[in-house]
Structure 1
Amino acid sequence: MQHTQQEDFWSGDFGREYTDRNSRPLEEWNAFYRDLYGHTKLEMNAEFLGDLPREARILEVGCNTGMQLVGLQAAGFTNLYGVELQGYAVEKAREFVRGVNILQGSGFDLPFKDNYFDVTCTNGVLIHIAPNDLPRIMGEMVRCSGRYIMGYEYYAPETTPIKYRGNDGFLWKTDFAQVFLNNFPELRLVKQNLYPYINDAERGNQDVVYLLEKTTR
């Protein structure tokens, strides 16, 4: 399958720089989210996944070095998987995370059978997928999930392009849960919360966490 422009971009030097820039120990990672929203990512995860059995099978699509997976481990989840496009990040993840199955691969072609996971999720990944390509990657997440799809992404009511470190065509914000619902009628929205930036109230920037459920399994 031919790579998208965004996949090629993230597979190269820019992706390596992102990986080095954004890898943090768990305590720093929690402090980053607390400073941003007033909530740690562990608290946000607990609000959406707290009732799941700790042996639930969870896949993160675009896991980078696995910081989110470390957070899920800290919450007690034991059956975790990650898929990451960038080989450099996969190497770093295998040093950073223990006891997690991390594979190099594309979210557009997930190497798992239908309904294999209890949850498929993204954390700041769909924002980097061109809007026309979203149904493809979302379709793979829906296919591989036996029940839930969870996302943590930038939010806007309408699709809005954003220049990313001087580059056009590599970052968008939108209502990602609604894009899922528009394309996959078998889904329903279980829950969605918006998290405004504490120090950016004037511009109104906020992120979203959503949980969707398959109604036909």
Structure 2
Amino acid sequence: MNAPHITLYYAPQTRATGTRILLEELGAPYDLHVLDIHADHFADTDFRKINPLRKVPTLKSDNTIITEQVAIALFLGDRFPDAGLAPAFDDPDRGTYLRWMVYYAACFEPALIDKSTGHDPGPASSSVYGTLEEMLSTLEQAMTPGPFILGDRMTVADILWGVALHWTMMFDLVPENPVFRDFAQRIMSRPLAMKVQAMDETLAAEQAAARGQ
């Protein structure tokens, strides 16, 4: 199977950082289309034609546009199977892998958005994630004993969660307990993750300078 031509629509130090780390870990060739989401002209950019919500990451694979961070991660893991970061369709671990990929979008992000905005999700019985405490406790159990969600086997899910925990603990949205701290460090200290973080710092500084900040 020929490798697709991939373009990642990207802004530094955003959710797209995790997608770029994933592409690097997969050894996938890609082009980077860098956007300054803080620039005044961003609202009028042609990027709206690619993704009407103007959200990053957005991925173009040949002629297919893929949005939503989890969808992109699932697509890439399956599209580059030789990297071994996604259980195959007949792998017994596939169900557990999918569970924790979707848990990120279905429970983790809604809970943290509610927390950051002060929104009351209502009774736990009608909330998509129960309570924040229940959601985090469930996640902590999934990461114990580790070192990865599937035990000794690292997958796309670990990259997704490692990057997410790194940022959310930095902004005090998630408590920095030993399990979460160690999990995030395990991913973010990998050589390719450190490479992307360094490039992000340079890109962010260049964009700020261009805006006169």
Name the one with the larger helix percent.
2
TM-score (norm 2): 0.33
Name the one with the larger strand percent.
1
Q: Who wins on radius of gyration, i.e. which is larger?
A: 2
TM-score (norm 1): 0.33
